[in-house]
Chains A and B, each alone.
Chain A
Amino acid sequence: EDKVVQSPLSLVVHEGDTVTLNCSYEVTNFRSLLWYKQEKKAPTFLFMLTSSGIEKKSGRLSSILDKKELFSILNITATQTGDSAIYLCAVEQGGSEKLVFGKGTKLTVNP
């Protein structure tokens, strides 16, 4: 059975801390891995990763994929209260355009 597992499920940090969110997967016919941020309603797209070892970066956020070990990490440096959200990891299956989602990591950044 295809599955995506995120850890931790919940995380509370102080502003300025650096956090690492994990996503491991077992999905047939892997095509890509995506990270989304969900603050209240609609998840917003962060990154899409298709190749191992190539870091994607956007401001204080970065992500990398390891296709051999079947995992990805999302790093957030110098966290701010606005980073508080649920971070979702999803893996796309080739041939069906389906996304398999993990349960998400709820990040709370306290001032």
Chain B
Amino acid sequence: DGGITQSPKYLFRKEGQNVTLSCEQNLNHDAMYWYRQDPGQGLRLIYYSQIVNDFQKGDIAEGYSVSREKKESFPLTVTSAQKNPTAFYLCASSYGVGPYEQYFGPGTRLTVT
């Protein structure tokens, strides 16, 4: 079965701790994306990567970091510098240079207290 997996589904952390969210795809897609979704805010782009070993900041990159060492994987680290990290995080992928639709993973709900 081809698709995008995100783990874990739910994550709880104490303030001040870094946390890494996993995103894996077996769709052979070149491009991968991380979004944050808050109630009433829609999806906002954090980081995206069009190719292995390259990534660009999205609209709200502050306090986040990513890596793209493998085509299949695009982990997101939420650092302690992110002032309001509690949110629903969605990973997506697409074939690349478009227009191509983005396919979404099931998401990770992060709660920081």
Report the bound CA distance from A13 to B95 in whole Å: 37
Chain A residues, Cβ within 8 Å of B43: 43, 88, 90, 99, 101
A97-B97, A98-B58, A103-B41 given; A42·B48 CB < 8 A:
no
Q: Which residues of B contact A (CB under 8 A)?
A: 4, 31, 33, 35, 40-45, 48, 50, 56, 58, 90, 94, 96-107
Separation in Å of the A19 CB from the closest CB of chain B?
Answer: 19
How many residue pairs between the two chains, A and B, have CB atoms under 8 Å in the bound complex? Answer: 58
Number of interface residues of A (CB under 8 A): 25
A interface, by DSSP: helix, strand, loop or mixed? strand
Nearest B residue (CB) for A9: B40
Name the interface residues of A4-48: CB closer than 8 Å to any CB of B. Answer: 9, 31-32, 34, 36, 41-45, 48
**Chain A proximity of B5: nearest CB distance (Å):** 11
- Chain A residue at minimum C-beta to C-beta distance from B108: A41
Contacts of A102 in B (CB 8 A): 42
